[in-house]
């Protein structure tokens, strides 16, 4: 065990960032994916290209954006395109290598639900919905899913399938002629799950330091498969934690600087 301490969320972000490569083109939103991509760019993947959902291409924010509409993204981007162009040309054209996704529920084949909890017609909770997730999961070369692992999220059966992962496994995704390879890793606060190469079912391949396999099994509603060669995730290094903790969110003052005062308009 290392001398420095970290929390499960920091372990998630670090583990996700390590899966990004220096030639990656990454489609990201706000939150943990944004932290992971920015951490990767400041450590092992300096040439990584970040694309945010709002249409900012190869943006290099100096601070963490508050939203996909944060002016920090457009200010540091090589170009800004419309959302329709982003999805119709850049995404569906196959230009984006990695897409990050989250959800309220995931099943054993990495299919996702972000629509409702409960019956669709009379839901207990109505969620934000699909957004661009179905297109991201379909047209990015691969997708990475970031989720906290517990039985309410890792479910035997989705209440609604919002986004296709490996569908029913056994090559069923490929039979739909979906161009991307689908989810290649699910990074959680307990470990990392990856799809089996034969049938596409998620299996636990990595455990974060100090987490027993039983904890991941108990946090999953289906009988979780555990890889024979289960690996312990490397702890965050001191440098990774220093950079991650230095990713300070932007402040509203940054936005205010771009808005003219009433005096300027007179």
Catalytic residues: 53
Cβ atoms of 188 and 149 closer than 8 Å: yes
Cβ atoms of 233 and 19 closer than 8 Å: no
Please report the beta strands in the chain, taking only residues with DSSP state E, as ranges in sequence order. 25-28, 49-52, 56-57, 79-80, 98-101, 105-106, 112-113, 116-118, 123-126, 142-146, 183-187, 191-195, 202-207, 225-232
For the chain, report the end-to-end CA distance as a whole number of angstroms.
63
Give whole-number Cα distances, 217 to 136, 222, 224, in Å. 28, 8, 6
Let me know how long the chain is.
266
């Amino acid at each position: 065990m290392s001398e420095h301490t970290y929390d499960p969320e920091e372990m998630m972000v670090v583990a996700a960032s390590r899966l990004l490569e220096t030639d990656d083109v990454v489609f990201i939103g706000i939150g943990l994916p944004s932290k992971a991509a920015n951490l990767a760019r400041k450590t092992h993947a300096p040439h990584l290209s970040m694309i945010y959902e709002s249409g900012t291409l190869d943006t290099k924010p100096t601070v963490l954006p508050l939203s996909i509409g944060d002016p920090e993204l457009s200010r540091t981007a090589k170009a800004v395109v419309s959302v329709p162009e982003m999805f119709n040309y850049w995404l569906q054209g196959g230009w984006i290598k990695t897409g990050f996704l989250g959800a309220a529920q995931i099943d054993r084949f990495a299919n996702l639900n972000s629509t409702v909890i409960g019956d669709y017609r009379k839901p207990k909770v109505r969620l934000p919905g699909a957004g661009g997730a179905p297109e991201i999961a379909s047209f990015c070369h691969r997708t990475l899913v970031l989720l906290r692992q517990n039985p309410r999220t890792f479910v035997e059966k989705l209440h609604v399938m919002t986004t296709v992962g490996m569908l029913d496994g056994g090559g069923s995704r490929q039979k739909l002629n979906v161009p991307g390879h689908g989810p290649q890793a699910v990074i959680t606060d307990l470990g990392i799950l990856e799809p089996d190469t034969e049938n596409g079912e998620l299996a636990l391949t990595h455990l974060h330091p100090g987490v027993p396999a039983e904890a991941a099994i108990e946090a999953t509603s289906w009988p979780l498969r555990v890889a024979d060669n289960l690996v312990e995730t490397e702890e965050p290094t001191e440098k990774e934690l220093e950079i991650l903790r230095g990713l300070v969110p932007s402040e509203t003052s940054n936005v205010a600087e771009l808005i003219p005062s009433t005096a300027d308009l007179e």
